[in-house]
Structures are given as structure tokens and as C-alpha cells.
Structure 1
């Protein structure tokens, strides 16, 4: 089996780090290093955005180029394509709220939207892989595989891997085995236990004191019915602290870096999508 690896390099963070950060990092110069790391992270985001749009375009072409079985067409059209668009929308929304170089705290509304987008991304990433699996099963799988229960079908599940027709595909997908296990540590708790969360800000002791000082001013303004002061005071209060680009499920569990983790996870799904769509195109034109 041959498959299209176009789009593989532009979703790999290491490529951008080597080009836009590594040559300019200086030991002990935190401000300089932060700037160039942010440049690498932002350029990585652009690469992932472009690769995702390319995959969407390829999917549209595939719908007209391949004679899909009815069920396969259903899962590709309403599963794969919808999820790709949803991931694209959620990621673009997320990156506008939390770009790599942001240091200002998130407002409550921004925090809510960032959390919504982040959870949607991870839920749809695993859903996308399942949709690809069902397209392949209905398009080229054997009758026993098509008859397997819904929970038995997935690109990395035994029933799928046992299908004779998928053996060349399974070999091409082997490099993603570790990533699939890793990404589930971010996705599964969001579905079954606690949603992913982006803390709005990190506060130093001095920040806490300033927050409490302004809170006391807000209370006095309310008591005195000086409502014209409230907007300015609350704006000042919301600017206290520094955004730390991390995300987590549970405050008692380890935190994760937003960048490059989130775009890198989307990038791995894009690479899998390239393999799957190349497989489906090849099978559909034999």
C-alpha cells in the first residue's frame, strides 16, 4: 500500500523549533528564549491550520472520486467531514483566545470559551478516528467485521487490526500506537470524569493582595452607590496575574503545556487522516 505523506512535516513541532527557536536560544536569557519559543509555537499553529484545511479539501475531493458504499459514504460525509470542520472551528477559536504569547489573564467568558473549545477538540479527535474506522469497515471490511459491535471498532482495536483487508493499513498506522494511548489520557477524563480546564491566571502573593485591595474598593463603591466606578475597578481586577499556558483535568493531577501539545495532537490526527484517505482512495479506484 502507498499513501500520501503530504502534510506530515508541517504538523511536526520539532521542525519549527529547529528553524525558529533553537538557533536563537541563549542560556540565561529568559525573555529572548520566550520570544523565539513563541515564534516557533505560533508558526507550528499555522502549519497545523493549513494541513487541516488541506485534509478537508482532500476529503471533499474523495467524496466525488470514490464510489463509496452507502454506509461508508454516510460515515465519511456526516462523521469524518463534520468532525474535521468542528476541529478546525474549535482550534481556530481556541488559538485566538489563548495564543502562545498571551500573558494577560483570561476573563471568565474567555476562560469558559477556551475550555469549551479545548474539550470539543479532544472529544472530536477521538471521534474522528472512530469515524475513519467505520468508513473503512463498511467500504472494504469483511462481513464479520461489519457485524462487530460498535464498541469493538476503532483504528487501534483488535477487531479492526484482525481484518485481513486492513493489514497494509495497520502496518502504516503502527507508528501512532503510543500517541493513541497518550492522547486518551487527555480525552477520556474529559468525557467520563472531569473536563479539561485552562486556568485563567496564576497569582503571586502580591497579586492576591492587590486583588483583595480592589475587591474592597468595589465593595465600598457598591455601598456608596458609586456605580460609575465599578467598570474601571473590575477591569483593573481582571488584569491582575499572568496567564500560564497550561491545561489540566484535576487540580491534584499533573498539568500539561498547551503548546505544542494541542496542535501536535491535532497534527497526529491529520497524519492519520492522510493515511486513511489515501487508503480509501486507493481501494476505491482499484
Structure 2
């Protein structure tokens, strides 16, 4: 099996950058370049949305067309399908609030919502990979591998790679091992330590002064019981500064670009899903003819 049979190009940001940004970039024209880079990022998002929909549709088709073992079907139906839908829902919710070209600061409600979505995506990404691994093991693995402890099996661990029926596909999946190690640096703190976070706004020194000015006016309005002034003042204060499309765990740790990192990570999941579902389709056909 070769990579090109899975149609990977559409989920790669570089493809969209070459088409929608690179030809239009002008040295020294930051506004122009920012516009076309945002165009490439937005088109990348559209492709990820379409690719997720195609993967979910193919997964639904598998459930009706493939002869699964009982345990493989259970993992696929209640693990793979649920996580695919949750990733799709969380990503759509996230992008509706933070498109690539947004500069307006986030409200507290918006901040809470996208942080929830972001953490859910990264927790579900690795959970989905494990669901795929176990579905493949239960469909075509040996009894010894099927009896392994839950944490002993994933797409990149030795028991999965060594399994005779899984090895050709496991060898293809090794191309994603470095990415899986990288994505763990985003997922593991979210699950076990500090959750992922998108700062609502970046403030310049002048912005800080303006915020303090509004805080003073709000305090005066409260003291004078001029409550009708509070909401307009709070609204003006909430729009001070600008949104930087970054996310992080620890304020003292690494800061990552939302775009293209988030959709790129989902794109890697789509690639792996296509490979895994192709394996299940092939082995389902074999099972149906036996």
C-alpha cells in the first residue's frame, strides 16, 4: 500500500499554502501577506472539515458493509465513531469562534468554550488512535495479542507492530510515530496536568492603561449606583487589545500557533483513519468469504 492511494494531500497545510498564499506574497508588505496566509489557513480548515465528514461517512459504511468480529465492531461503533464525531463537533465549534483572521479579543464565555473544545480535541485524538488499534487487533490479531492489557496496545507499540496480520499496515503507520510523540506533548498535560489555553487578548502597554481607565470608570459607576453604565463600559473594556491565535499549557512553557498546528494534527488523524479503515475493510471482506 502506498500513501498516495489514501488522498492525503488535501489535509496538508503546505498544499493550501502553495496554492492560496505563496504566489501572492510580497516582500515588505505585511498586510498583504497576512491576508493571503489567512486565506490558505481558512481553505485548509475547509479541507479538514470535508475530510472528517468523508471519514465519518466511510466509517458508517463500514458498519453496514464489513463483517466485523463482535469485539472489533464494539470498539469501532462505540469508540471510533463516537470520537470521530466529537472531534468533528469540537473543531467546528472552535473554528466558529476563532477563524484565522480574528483579531477581536475573546469574551470570557468564548474563551471558556474554545478552551473546552481544544482540550477535548487533543484528548480524543489519542483516544481515537487507541480505538483504531484495538479494533484492528480484535478484527485480525492473534488470541495472544487480543488478550493483552489495555495499555499494552497502540498503533506504535511492539505487540501491535509484531502481529503478523497487522505488520504491513503497522509498517505504513510508522511514518506517523514522530507526530504521535509530538502530539502527546499537547495532549498529556491537558489530560494530566495543565489544560490547554487560548489567551483572550494580548495587551500593549497602552492597552493596559486603557483597561485601567475603564476599570476606574466601572468602579465609579458602581459607587454612584449608575448601573445602566456598567454594561457599555464592560463591553468597551472587553475589546481592548487583540487576539493572538496562540495556545499553550503553562504561561512559562512553549507557545504554539493555533493555525496551522490544530488542523494539521486533525489532518494526521484523518490520514491514520483512512489507513486503519482500509485495513478493516480488506479484512472484513476476507472474513465475509470464509
Would you call these one fold, judging by a TM-score over 0.5? yes
* Structure 1 residues 85 and 281: CA distance shift in structure 2, 3 A: same
> Does structure 2 retain, via aligned residues, the 8 Å contact 1:73–1:135?
yes
**Where does the alignment leave 5 or more consecutive residues of structure 2 unmatched?**
none
Q: How does 1:4-153 map to 2 (within 5 A)?
A: 5-153=5-153
CA shift for structure 1 position 161: 1.1
* Structure 1 residues 139 and 2: CA distance shift in structure 2, 3 A: farther
Aligned residues: 286
Q: How does 1:132-211 map to 2 (within 5 A)?
A: 132-211=132-211
* Structure 1 residues 3 and 212: CA distance shift in structure 2, 3 A: closer
CA RMSD of aligned residues (A): 1.1
CA shift for structure 1 position 6: 3.8
CA shift for structure 1 position 231: 0.8
The 2-side partners of 1:151 and 1:77 are apart by: 20
The 2-side partners of 1:139 and 1:278 are apart by: 13
CA shift for structure 1 position 157: 1.2
The 1-side partners of 2:249 and 2:225 are apart by: 40
CA shift for structure 1 position 28: 1.3
> Does structure 1 retain, via aligned residues, the 8 Å contact 2:160–2:167?
no
CA shift for structure 1 position 5: 3.5
> Does structure 2 retain, via aligned residues, the 8 Å contact 1:5–1:274?
no
**Where does the alignment leave 5 or more consecutive residues of structure 1 unmatched?**
none
The 2-side partners of 1:193 and 1:27 are apart by: 42
CA shift for structure 1 position 158: 1.5
> Does structure 1 retain, via aligned residues, the 8 Å contact 2:104–2:239?
yes
Cα displacement string for residues 31-71 of structure 1 (whole angstroms, at most 9, x for unaligned residues): 11110000000000000000000000000000111111111
Q: Which fold has the larger relative contact order, with Cα–Cα distance below 8 Å and residues 6 or more apart in sequence?
A: 1
Q: Which consecutive aligned stretches of 4+ in structure 1 deviate over 2 angstroms post-superposition?
A: 1-7
> Does structure 2 retain, via aligned residues, the 8 Å contact 1:100–1:259?
yes
Cα displacement string for residues 162-190 of structure 1 (whole angstroms, at most 9, x for unaligned residues): 11111111121121111111111111110
